[in-house]
Amino acid sequence: MAVFVEVDHVDRVFNLPDGGEYIALKNIDLHIHKGEFVSLVGHSGCGKSTLLNILSGLDQPSAGGIILEGRQVTEPGPDRMVVFQNYSLLPWLTVRQNIQLAVDQVMGHHPKAVRKRMVDHHIEMVGLQKAADKRPGQISGGMKQRVAIARALAIRPKLLLLDEPFGALDALTRGGLQEQLMQICQENEVTCVMVTHDVDEALLLSDRIVLMTNGPEAHVGQIVDVPFPRPRERMEVVKHPNYYSLRNEIVYFLNQQKRAKLQRAKPAVAVAANGLEKVNLELGFIPLVDCAPLIVAKEKGLFEANGLSQVTLNREPSWNAIADGVTSGRLDASMMVAGMPLGITLGYGNQRPVPMVSALTLSRNGNAITFSKRLFDQGVRSPADFKAALDRRPDQVHTLATVHPTSMHNLLLRYWLAAGGIDPDRDVSVTVIPPAQMASNLKSGTIDGYCVGEPWNARAVAEGHGVVLATDNDIWAGHIEKVLGVTEAWANQYPKTHVALVKALLEACEYCDDRRNREEIAEMLARPEYVGADETLIRQGFLDPYDRGDGSEPQQVLNYIQFFTGKANFPDVTEAVWMMTQMARWGITPFPRNWLEVAERVKRSDIFGQAARELGLLDIGRDRHSIQLFDGVPFDPDHPLDYLNQFAIKRDLRIEEMPMDVVRR
Amino acid sequence: MTAPLDIRPTRSRFNVARLSQQALNWLKGLIPPVVAIVIFLSIWQVLTMGPNATLPTPIRTIQDTWELIINPFFDYGGTDKGLFWQVWSSLQRVAIGFSLAAVAGVALGILVGTSPLMYSALDPIFQILRTVPPLAWLPISLAAIQQAGPASIFVIFITAIWPIIINTTEGVRQIPQDYNNVAKVLRLSKPTYFFKILFPATVPYIFTGLRIGIGLSWLAIVAAEMLIGGVGIGFFIWDAWNSSRISDIIIAIVYVGVVGLLLDRLIVFIGTLVLPEEQKK
């Protein structure tokens, strides 16, 4: 579909009376297709309305521009009609005259009779025949809004801009008008951009929802695609399997923005106490069973016991949010997918490299590869079967999902596919989706399979949409999974706090692996503020026999998730090098020529060792070892390039020296 | 409002109970001012009953001016006319002066309001001139025009024009941004913008200006006539003073007050006819 409206790197800077500047919008880049309905959602003062004014031409961007059908927008015009927040009807004109004024002005070249029909048609369309000769002062808010919409549509704009059109209306009127607007837009194929505060309204009406971050320097934080089929019915939309996960994602985003605003309002001053540099920590987590160490440390008072008296856990919407949060300083530390500290240090996805430190592994195992029931019914049981299925239907694109480019899910899924002769970039498409949305996307058929941590495999199995084809134990038993990650700058600034944090979490990990505690932990995790999933799903594998959904008897899996046993927590350099080979293999990061230096720099066994000694936990370090996955290819940490080169399926390798500054502390 | 009009219960025009109820309410509303007037008159009566009083008592005033009160329409030639004629000729002057001021003031106000350059150039001048008392204009207008009648009309004009200009200007500048945005998005032509948006949006402010203007004009005419002479309520008062007819002065003052009130109400009434519901504030 051709781009209809292009918002091209728009900035808007306001000059303040005191001579300063206020940067309201920064680098907004957005493409809107013809007939698309896009909503702008964000907190008050995030510049949504400013962006809408720039789209209409009432305001001019300070940099960048708006291009409508190939032509730059420089002034307001009737091809971009606005439905203003407060209706903006002229009070001295009747309903009919208000619409007529617009029609006469814009369609002056048509004969009078045609214009009159046009006016009458639109009055009828919004059902205002009886009020046509009343003035705005004599009709209700809902009716005024209908007049404003009729006036806007009557002049056949190319782009309809709506500024919180239903904000001032009562719920009943709003519902009715939303449906009317949806129907009218559908019938007339109008391209719409709407500013709103109402998440449900945005989900009902939009094809895409653009989430804006808070000002100053507001920008597009996230774009949510709304996949509900059209024509939409309110009740059907609400029942759609993706509805609540999408809604949650948006609400999370907004809550997170609110928190960011609060944090900005009271600058995060490090509160020093208990002999530590900083005791007020913001930690991030993702709703997964393996976030248990953080939850346990919080609930069982292990943070306090180690002097960290003001720890806040932040439930984050996606791994990307975690990466941004830690590098921007919004979060002090966070649970991370295993490859994330390395990935950020190496500048994954062409981002600016930020040196990271990981002194603790939080968990091992706990993932599974789930395929849709449909593929399973076609006989897909292994990568080889899947390859056969792909070869049978070369016209179909199969999409698999993981949670982050640097996560073990991505690396293991790709390894598993490639070992079966499937190129994960050419034969299938691998996409990134937040964990909590996997099952619903599988159900809706947007993806055909995924690799994710629990309880999101269990959910697809329980709902009967998916079958677990492989667990970690089938691919690489006991692999590194989640780690604690902080920036190197943070680790250097708060060394004692860092050790205290590692100690608290290490104790929590030990607690988690005592099976006597797991009933209690499962109950904790199920709470809505943590994982918020059904407890029976969380117990799958964690406590109860694991049901793969393939018809076999559920089996008790040993070490389904390992938090402590088997020297689980040591920051293992060998694993770090293996992950760097795999990230380089798929073009996620370059492979550093100084790979050992990078691995040693990120994996801080010295901090881990100090914490373990202070806790009196001895002999939980790991020695150098070699790694072997299910296909039996050995990995020798001394010769990673040989290992990389022997893979048949890989991307072009980039091997680069990673400049690490000499001064360490 | 969404209810169909035809299902509303029909009201009888002559509902006796309702009418009498209304009349009763109206009478009740009248009680406080009547009581206040009675108290005022009593105090006046008490203060002026002594033998050394310089002003007549209210009863005395009525007795003295009974002729004037019962017959406002006599005309014995010259300036010896009934109070109605006195007021009438004053009103004529006000009508001419004020009409000119209204037309010129609204036009100037719109000009100044729409042009920021004009605004910055002229607004300081208006602000200075509007504080000049009406009578200060009289000598210069007499010097320029050399005739008493037109000179007093000019005083009315120059007194009334400032509030009209200033309020109209303000009205133009205060046109809600929403309306201007509508005009911009629709790309309304200049004349359409003027007649469909600018002028209607400014009307409430214009009426505020007119109301202040008519009050000032009535103040000015009484003072001007005192100095200029001829037929008019102002000169009637001056004449009465010169002839020591204090009671006449008092009755003329009552006339001036009542007429001023009526003029003010007249402008308000015209305003209610012109303005739609939403703009009445």
Report the distance separating Cα B160 and Cα A170, nearest Å.
47
Report the distance separating Cα B61 and Cα B64, nearest Å.
5
pLDDT for the residue numbered B169? 94
**Closest partner CB to A137 (pick from B185, B186, B277):** B277
Q: How far is CA B158 from CA B134, B135, B152, B161, B175, in A?
A: 8, 10, 10, 5, 27
Structure tokens at A537: 């799903």
Bridge partners (DSSP) listed for residue A244: none
| Chain B residues with CB-CB distance to A78 below 8 A | 185-187
| Chain B residues with CB-CB distance to A92 below 8 A | 200-201, 203, 276, 279
- Find the mean pLDDT for residues B127-153: 88
Across the interface, whether the CB atoms of A86 and B187 are under 8 A apart is answered no
| Chain B residues with CB-CB distance to A58 below 8 A | 181, 184-185
pLDDT for the residue numbered A664? 41
The phi, psi pair for B171, rounded to 5°, reads -60, -45
Report the distance separating Cα A67 and Cα A79, nearest Å.
13
CB count in 10 Å sphere of residue B76: 8
pLDDT for the residue numbered A665? 38
Distance from the A157 Cα atom to the nearest Cα atom in chain B, whole angstroms:
11
pLDDT for the residue numbered A637? 85
Structure tokens at A575: 């694993």
- The answer to ipTM > 0.90 is no
3-class SS of residue A63: strand
pLDDT band at residue B276, thresholds of 50, 70 and 90?
low
10-residue mean pLDDT series, chain A (665 residues): 82 86 86 91 86 91 90 89 86 91 88 91 86 88 87 88 84 82 84 92 92 83 82 84 81 81 66 82 89 91 89 86 87 92 87 88 90 88 87 84 91 90 87 82 84 87 88 87 92 91 91 88 86 82 84 82 86 90 90 88 89 83 80 86 88 82 46
Residue of A nearest to B180 (CA): A88
Across the interface, whether the CB atoms of B185 and A80 are under 8 A apart is answered yes
DSSP A315: E
Checking if the pLDDT of B8 tops 70, the result is no
Better-scored residue on pLDDT, B117 or B280: B117
**Closest partner CB to A58 (pick from B184, B189, B201):** B184
Neighbouring residues of B218: CB distance < 8 A, sequence distance ≥ 6: B94, B256, B259, B260, B263
Neighbouring residues of B50: CB distance < 8 A, sequence distance ≥ 6: none
Q: How far is CA A615 from CA A419, A563, A609, B134, B198, in A?
A: 42, 17, 10, 94, 79
Across the interface, whether the CB atoms of B178 and A136 are under 8 A apart is answered no
Q: For residue range A564-610, what is the model confidence (pLDDT) as tens digits?
A: 888 888 898 889 999 999 999 998 898 988 888 888 889 988 899 88
Distance from the A53 Cα atom to the nearest Cα atom in chain B, whole angstroms:
10
Question: Is there a contact between A605 and A598 (Cβ–Cβ < 8 Å)?
Answer: no
**Closest partner CB to B185 (pick from A56, A91, A138):** A56
Distance from the A35 Cα atom to the nearest Cα atom in chain B, whole angstroms:
21
pLDDT band at residue B11, thresholds of 50, 70 and 90?
low
